[in-house]
Chains A and B, each alone.
Chain A
């Protein structure tokens, strides 16, 4: 693992990007910042611009409008950028597979590094998922 990546895992700057979610996963992501779970003690900070992001947390099914946008967003993120698919919809589209407005799954658009399934995944599951990414980066 290169030095840059090693340094990254001390404090992960996370950017939340939503495709077409129902909002539950997004609320649980924000929940992780609130006092009970308090992700900031792990050095996980939510940033307002994709250009500062180390990690892209993606929620929701890509629909025809958002598929284009999410791809552009990923291209704007400085590399290395790790993509975590949060929730059943981002992992595999679940019940929206057959929809006329859902052309493909997220991992056909972007390289996904981690999948956190659930509908929505509990905040504990989110933290566990991010910790797994950190461990993977550190080579543990």
Chain B
């Protein structure tokens, strides 16, 4: 079974959307509530490497892309979730699955204001400790 077919079969009905931008760039949309299970499948089950997660402030909500690398084939699977509640965005933390995610979620918390539920240490990483509350540098200002 090709790796794309394997991923599709493992993720099953969690996939809301599947886009093949190019042979080595695949974007998969899932629901925020499924992210922990999806991350577990990608990392532990399929053995992909976690590269980074990028959060973006969009008009529709806060979007997070979790990027996983299938090194043998050089394919990047980017798992997209959209958190519609911009006033109190929150999502399950995946830092309990693998330690590499800890810093990444802290950075998204302080720059975008996303609450990662279950994160062991959600404190400032890059910004000073007395950075003004509620000020998230990567959020776009309302026009």
Residues of A near any B CB (own CB < 8 A): 64-65, 100-101
Contact = CB atoms under 8 A, between A and B. Distances in A.
Contacts of A65: 128
Nearest to B126: A101
Closest 7 CB pairs of A and B: A100-B137, A64-B128, A65-B128, A101-B127, A64-B127, A101-B137, A64-B131
A78 B55 CA distance: 46
Contacts of A64: 127-128, 131
Chain B interface bracket (under 10, 10 to 19, 20 to 34, 35 or more)? under 10
Interface in B113-143: 127-128, 131, 137
Contacts of B137: 100-101
Contacts of B131: 64
7 contacts: A64-B127, A64-B128, A64-B131, A65-B128, A100-B137, A101-B127, A101-B137
Nearest to A64: B128
Nearest to B137: A100
Interface in B80-135: 127-128, 131
A100 B136 CA distance: 10
Contacts of B128: 64-65
B60 to A, nearest CB: 24
A138 B127 CA distance: 43
Nearest to A68: B128
